[in-house]
Structure formats: structure tokens, C-alpha cells
Amino acid sequence: MKENQLKMNQSVHCRTKKMVLTAMFACLAFVLNTFVYFPAMAPFQHFVDVLAAVFLGPWYACAAAFLCGVMRMLSGRTIQAVAGAVFGPIIGGLLYRRTGSFVMTFIGEVVGTGFVGAMVSYPLMKLFYGLDAQSPFYYIPFYTPAAVVGAGMGVAVLLTLRKTRLLERMKNELNV
């Protein structure tokens, strides 16, 4: 009986850590995207997405991206802040979980954001804002470079953490 209670307490403790880190990643992405601004690009969102995908997994990373997107929308950005952000961490996180490869996480972030997010944004921008860019591929040239740059920065940080042996310590602390 006590063993089951101990396992349940550890599980709750692990989920609590992940929720707090999810909120911290969302806030970090929001602050970085607010102070380092590029028109129609948010490379720091993708930077944080890659880190969150590795440390938290696809679903918490998606939650962090969603929360950041909502905060960005509340500060005047369009629905692209959410639609463009949530697919990269899901695909990147799933690929990382399956392979353990930072390169695959990078690819998942770029494909999820640069292509899937861009394609989803087109009908939403048309529906909610009346913007007709004449092509569902319109946003790909904006999303993909930002995803490549941001995901590349995220992978660089992860490689540095791995080299200094901090990555495993940090992941062990989260029980990932």
C-alpha cells in the first residue's frame, strides 16, 4: 500500500515539475519574441520549442507553444501566433522520443512549423481576418526560415548542454 502511495506521489511531483517548466518555457518564448522582433517571424519560439520538446516531450511542449501563442495574440499578434507554433513541438517531440536525436527534433520542428503550421494558418487567416493570399503555400517562406534559425539555436544549446554533461542531469531531474 505504501509503495503505491509513494509511486503516486512521485508521479504527481513529476507532473508538477513539468507543468511549471511548461509555463516557464511559454514565458521565455513570449519574452524573447517580444524583445527580439522580426516582422512575420518568431525564431525564438522555435528555439524554445526544441528545448521544450527534448525536456518535456511533445504534449507539454505543445502546451508551452500554445500558451505563448495565446499571450502573443493578447498582445496584438494574429492567430498565426498559435496556429504556426503548436505543430513543430509535437512533431519534434515525437521524433525525439522515438529516436533520441537532436537532428530529428530539428527536422520535426521545421516540418511542423514551416509546412504544417504554415498550411494551417492560411485558412485561419482567410476565415478570421479576411486575408486572401491567393495560395495556401503563402506562409511557408515566412515560417520556414524562422523555424530553421530558431530550431538551429535550440539544437546548439542542447549540444552544449550535452557536451558539458548538464543535459542528462537536467533530464534526470525531470524524470524524463
| Secondary structure of 133-158 as H, E, C letters | CCCCCCCHHHHHHHHHHHHHHHHHHH
Q: What is the pLDDT of residue 1?
A: 64
pTM of the model: 0.89
Q: To the nearest 10°, the Cα dihedral for 64, 70, 75, 80?
A: 100
Q: What is the DSSP letter of 41?
A: B
Domain residue spans of the chain: 2-174
List pLDDT tens digits, range 64-102.
Answer: 999 999 998 898 888 888 888 899 999 999 999 999 999
> With bands split at pLDDT 50, 70 and 90, how would you rate the model's confidence at 125?
confident
How far apart, in whole angstroms, are the C-alpha atoms of residue 110 and residue 89?
9
pLDDT greater at residue 3 or residue 107: 107
**166 Cβ partners below 8 Å, 6+ apart?**
none
- CATH of the domain spanning 2-174: 1.10.1760.20
Q: What are phi and psi of 153, to 5 degrees?
A: -65, -40
How far apart, in whole angstroms, are the C-alpha atoms of residue 94 and residue 96?
5
How far apart, in whole angstroms, are the C-alpha atoms of residue 77 and residue 92?
24
